[in-house]
Amino acid sequence: MAVTTLVDMFLDVTNRFGSKTSFMEKIDGEYQGFTYDELAGKVRQFALGLASLGVKHGDRVALMSENRIQWVISDLGILSLGATNVPIYPTITPEQIRYILKDAEVRLIIVSTKELLEKVLAIFDDLPKLEKIIYMEDTPQQADYLIPYDDIYKMGAEFEKDHPKYYDDAVSKIQPDDLCGIIYTSGTTGAPKGVMLTHDNILSNVQSGLKVLNINEKDTFLSFLPLCHSFERMAGLYIPICAAAKVAYAESVDTVVDNLSEVHPTIMTSVPRMFEKIYSGVMANAQAGSPLKQKIFCWAVATGGKYADAKAAGKVPAFLNFKYNLATKLVFSKLHEKVGGKLRYFISGGAPLVRDIAEFFNKAGILILEGYGLTETSPVIAVNKEEKNKFGTVGPALPGVEVKIADDGEILTRGPHVMKGYYKNPDATSEMIDADGWLHTGDIGQLDDEGYLSITDRKKNIIVTSGGKNVTPASIENVLISSQYIEQIMVVGDRRKFLSALIVPSFDALKKYADENGISYKDQNDLVVNEQIHEMMDKMIRETTAHLARFEQIKKFALLPKELTIEAGEITPSLKVKRKVVEEKYSDMIERMYE
Is 185 contained in some domain? Answer: no
CB 499 within 8 A of CB 508: no
For residues 58 and 140, state if they share a domain.
yes
Residue 525: pLDDT over 60:
yes
End-to-end CA distance of the chain, in Å? 69
How do beta strands 439-447 and 453-458 pair?
A: antiparallel
Is 187 contained in some domain? Answer: no
Residue 411: pLDDT over 60:
yes
Is 179 contained in some domain? Answer: no
Residue 526: pLDDT over 90:
yes
Is the model more confident about 261 or about 567?
261
pLDDT tens-digit readout, 244-303: 999 999 999 889 999 999 999 999 999 888 898 899 889 989 988 999 999 999 999 999
pLDDT of residue 190: 59
CATH number at residue 506: 3.30.300.30
Range 310-324 average pLDDT: 95
pLDDT of residue 139: 80
Instruction: Give the whole-angstrom CA distance, residue 260 versus residue 216.
Output: 20
Range 139-154 average pLDDT: 93
Helices 114-121 and 94-103: crossing angle in degrees, nearest 10, is 70
Is 429 contained in some domain? Answer: yes
For residues 437 and 372, state if they share a domain.
yes
Range 368-387 average pLDDT: 96
Range 13-20 average pLDDT: 98
Structural domains of the chain, count: 3
Q: Output b/e per residue, 238-270; b: 16+ Cβ within 10 A.
A: bbbbbbbbbbbbbbeeeebeebbebbebbbbbb
Is 192 contained in some domain? Answer: no
Q: Which of 266, 296, 329 is where one domain is finished?
A: 266
Is 309 contained in some domain? Answer: yes
Residue 467: pLDDT over 80:
no
Instruction: Give the whole-angstrom CA distance, residue 77 versus residue 43.
Output: 5
pLDDT of residue 188: 45
Is 1 contained in some domain? Answer: no
- Containing domain of residue 424, as a range? 270-341+343-459
Mean pLDDT of the chain: 94
For residues 294 and 334, state if they share a domain.
yes
**For residue 127, which phi and psi values (nearest 5 degrees)?**
-125, 80
For residues 321 and 255, state if they share a domain.
no
For residues 100 and 40, state if they share a domain.
yes
For residues 507 and 420, state if they share a domain.
no
Instruction: Give the whole-angstrom CA distance, residue 199 versus residue 8.
Output: 10
For residues 152 and 258, state if they share a domain.
yes
pLDDT of residue 187: 52
Number of residues in the chain:
595
pLDDT tens-digit readout, 181-212: 999 986 544 578 999 999 999 999 999 999 99
CATH number at residue 419: 3.40.50.12780
Residue 352: pLDDT over 50:
yes
Is 193 contained in some domain? Answer: no
Range 308-331 average pLDDT: 96
For residues 583 and 500, state if they share a domain.
yes
pLDDT of residue 192: 84
**For residue 454, which phi and psi values (nearest 5 degrees)?**
-115, 140
Whole-angstrom CA distances from 217 to 18, 32, 242, 244, 245 are 12, 18, 9, 5, 4
CB 462 within 8 A of CB 444: yes
| HSE of 178, CA atoms in CB hemisphere, 13 A | 25
Helices 6-17 and 199-213: crossing angle in degrees, nearest 10, is 50
Q: Which of 459, 484, 514 is where one domain is finished?
A: 459
For residues 381 and 504, state if they share a domain.
no
| Selection from 530, 527, 390 nearest residue 454 by Cα | 390
Q: What is the DSSP letter of 197?
A: E
pLDDT of residue 79: 98
For residues 428 and 307, state if they share a domain.
yes
Instruction: Give the whole-angstrom CA distance, residue 588 versus residue 454.
Output: 35
Whole-angstrom CA distances from 224 to 25, 251, 303 are 11, 8, 32
Range 443-460 average pLDDT: 90
For residues 19 and 154, state if they share a domain.
yes
pLDDT of residue 186: 62
| HSE of 355, CA atoms in CB hemisphere, 13 A | 13
For residues 243 and 301, state if they share a domain.
no
Q: What is the DSSP letter of 399?
A: T
pLDDT tens-digit readout, 161-188: 999 999 999 999 999 999 999 999 865 4
Q: Which of 433, 459, 485 is where one domain is finished?
A: 459
pTM of the model: 0.85
